[in-house]
Structure 1
Amino acid sequence: MARTDGDSWDLASSVGATATMVAAQRALGHRDGLIDDRFAEPLVRAVGADFFIRMLDGEIDLAAIDPAFTMRRAAEGMAVRTRWFDRMFLDAAAAGVRQAVILASGLDSRGYRLPWPDGTVVYEVDQPEVIEFKTTSLATLGAEPTATHRTIAIDLREDWPKALRDNGFDPSQPTAWSAEGLLIYLPADAQDRLFDEITALSAPGSRLATEHVPDLSAVTDDRTKQLTDRMREIGSDIEMAELVYQGDRSDVVEYLTAKGWNVTAAGAREAHESNGFDFPDDGLMAAFADMSYLSATYG
C-alpha cells in the first residue's frame, strides 16, 4: 500500500518491515563476525515475520532472488552501514559528547550494545508501538542499557523536538545524531524540516551521521520490480516502490553545509573498500553505487 499522510505501521508492515529487514541483515553480519549486534537476531525472531525468520534459518536463498545478492553480500553491505554509524557515535563520545539521539530507531540496539562513557544519555525516537515492542522484547532478553536510556514514543511528523526537551534533552550541550536509513521514507519537505530541527537543537561540536541517495529511480525501475516480484513469490510483502517518496529533494551535503555543518562523505564503493569488501558491480546494489554515507560536525 502506498504511503499516505498520517499512515502508521508496526515492525511487520510497511516502513516498519524495512527496519526488521535491516535487523535481519545485521544478524547475518553478527553471525559472520563483521559487527557486534547480538540483539539483532532475537529481535527479528520476536517480531515474528515469517519471511525474515525463514531467511535466518537458511530456508530462503537470497541468491534465488538476485544471483549477486548472496547472504554474505547482505551481511557485508549492512556491516559497512552499521560500522559507519557506530563510528560516529564512538568518535563523538571520545570527543566528550554525552548526549545521543537515534531517530527512527526501529530495532537499533546501540543503546544496549555500544560502550557509552559514564554520564551519556541516549534518546531513541520512534512510533509508540515500535518503541514499546523493542523495549519490552529487550527486557525479556535480560538486556540492560549501557547508558542512561530514554525512549521518546512519538512519530517524527509530530513535535518530537518538544518531546525530547520534555524528557531532559539539553540543546545547549553537543549531541550525536543518527538518521540512518530514514531519508528516503520522508517527503522532500520533511527531509529539509528534519535537518532544520536537528540544527536548531544542536550546540557547537554536535555530530550527525546519515546517508544521501541522489537518485531514487532505481527503487522503481524494471529491475527492482522484477526483484520485488521474486521476493513476493517466496513470502516477502515489502514493496519498496510504494514506501519511498520520489521527486526532487535537496542535496543533503549542500543542505547541511548551508546550515553550518562540516560534512564528510564516503561513496558506497569507497566505504565498502575501506572496510575490506568488494563493492558489487552487478545486481541491485549496483543501482545504489551513487549513494553516500555522511558524517558531519556542527559549528
Structure 2
Amino acid sequence: MREGRPSTTAAWVAAWRGISGRAARPVVHDPIAEHLVPGGYASILRLAGRYPGVMAQVHRFADAVSLGRSRHLALRTRAIDDGTHAAIEGGARQLVIVGAGLDARAWRLPSLRDTVVWEVDHPSTQAWKRARVAELPPIARDVRFVASDFERDDMRERLAAAGHDPTAPTVFVWEGVTMYLSSAAIDLVLRGLHVCAAAGSTLLATYFEPRSSPLARTLSMVLRGVSEPVRSRFSPDEIAGQLDRHAFEVIEDAGDPEWSRRYLSIAQPWSLERLVTARRR
C-alpha cells in the first residue's frame, strides 16, 4: 500500500463492482465506483458507461474464459447487500464496515437512509476515500470515518470515540479482509466486536477456505505480487468455532454455488470465497 492511496485490491474490487453493473444480467449496481477509484480505473468505468453494448460483450467473454468466476465479486457484493438489508429491516440502525476500502454502501443503498455508518480502515486508504467523497452526499443518515490498524489498534476504543452505541443492534460488514490479516489480528478484531456488538447484532464476514486448487494457487501468487499476500484461511467449521468463542452464532455460510443459484438461477460448482452470517448471542 502506497501512502495516501488505496490498496491495489481495494481499487480492483471497486472498479469491478462498477463494471459489473454493465453486465447483461447485473446482480449489483454501483454508480459511485468511478468517483472512488484512481484515474486509470475511473477512465475504464466511464468508457464502460458510454459503450454498454461493448461492455456486455466483454462480460460474456470474461464469463466464458473464467468459467463464470468473473461474476464472483458482484455475487459477493449482492449477498452482503441483502444481508445488510435484512438486518436493517430487523431493526438495526448502525452499520460498521470493517476494512471499508472503497466500499460505497453508504452512498448507494436506499435502506440505509435512517442508519449511521462507521467506516473503519487503514488511515492511508481512508484519506483517499474521504477526499473522493467530500462532494458526494451519502444516502445514509451519517458517515463517520474511523482510522485503525487492525494488527495493533483496539477497534472497540476507536468506535466508542466515534459515537458508536454498543447497546444498540449493529450490522458489522467484514468483506474481503480476513484473508489478509494474521490470526492474531483476526482475534483482536473479534474481541473488539464481542464488546461492541449488542445481542442480536449481525456479522457478515467473508473468508478463504484452505484450498490447493490451481485457481487458489494462482490467486495467491497474484496477491503476493501486489504485496497483499493471503495470510489466513479457514474451513467452515473453523470459522464457526472462532466466531462461537466470541459469542457469535452462525446463521448461514454460503459461497458462489449458492449465490449463483439464488441470483442467476444457474449451477456453479466452484467457490472462491465464502460469506458467513452470524448473530451475536
TM-score using structure 2 length: 0.80
Which residues in structure 2 correspond to 1:1-299 (within 5 Å)?
Answer: 11=5, 16-32=7-23, 33-44=26-37, 47-48=38-39, 50=40, 53=43, 57=47, 68-69=65-66, 74=70, 76-116=71-111, 119-140=114-135, 142-157=136-151, 158-215=153-210, 217-218=212-213, 223-224=218-219, 228=222, 239=225, 243-245=229-231, 251-263=238-250, 264-276=252-264, 278=266, 286=270, 288=271, 291-299=273-281
The structure-2 alpha-carbon separation of the partners of 1:135 and 1:57, relative to structure 1 and needing over 3 Å to count, comes to same
Contact kept, 8 Å, 2:35 with 2:42, in 1: the verdict is: no
| Residue 280 (structure 1) shift | 5.4
Distance, in Å, in 2 between the alignment partners of 1:136 and 1:93 is: 28
| Residue 221 (structure 1) shift | 6.4
Higher relative contact order (CA closer than 8 Å, sequence separation 6+): 1
| Residue 29 (structure 1) shift | 1.7
Distance, in Å, in 2 between the alignment partners of 1:55 and 1:120 is: 29
Distance, in Å, in 2 between the alignment partners of 1:278 and 1:86 is: 20
Encode CA deviations 1:194-215: one digit per residue, 9 max, x unaligned: 2222112111010010123221
SS at match of 1:244: coil
Root-mean-square deviation (CA, aligned residues, Å) is 3.4
| Residue 292 (structure 1) shift | 2.2
Contact kept, 8 Å, 2:92 with 2:171, in 1: the verdict is: yes
| Residue 73 (structure 1) shift | 5.0
Distance, in Å, in 1 between the alignment partners of 2:75 and 2:17 is: 10
Q: How many positions carry a matched residue from both structures?
A: 269
Give the percent of matched residue pairs that are identical in Structure 1 and Structure 2.
26
Q: Which amino acid aligns with 2:244?
A: T
Q: Which amino acid aligns with 2:138?
A: E
Encode CA deviations 1:215-269: one digit per residue, 9 max, x unaligned: 154589665578x4xxxxxxxx972685211578982122113433221111321
Contact kept, 8 Å, 2:224 with 2:230, in 1: the verdict is: no
Encode CA deviations 1:15-60: one digit per residue, 9 max, x unaligned: x11011111110122223421211012322xx12x47855875799
Distance, in Å, in 2 between the alignment partners of 1:63 and 1:90 is: 29
Distance, in Å, in 1 between the alignment partners of 2:200 and 2:120 is: 21
Distance, in Å, in 2 between the alignment partners of 1:51 and 1:38 is: 13
SS at match of 1:173: coil
* Structure 1: tracts of 5 or more residues without a match: 1-6, 229-236
Encode CA deviations 1:49-100: one digit per residue, 9 max, x unaligned: x478558757997999996328x852x3222101111112111111111111
Contact kept, 8 Å, 1:17 with 1:238, in 2: the verdict is: no
| Residue 105 (structure 1) shift | 0.4
Contact kept, 8 Å, 2:208 with 2:274, in 1: the verdict is: yes
Contact kept, 8 Å, 1:183 with 1:211, in 2: the verdict is: yes
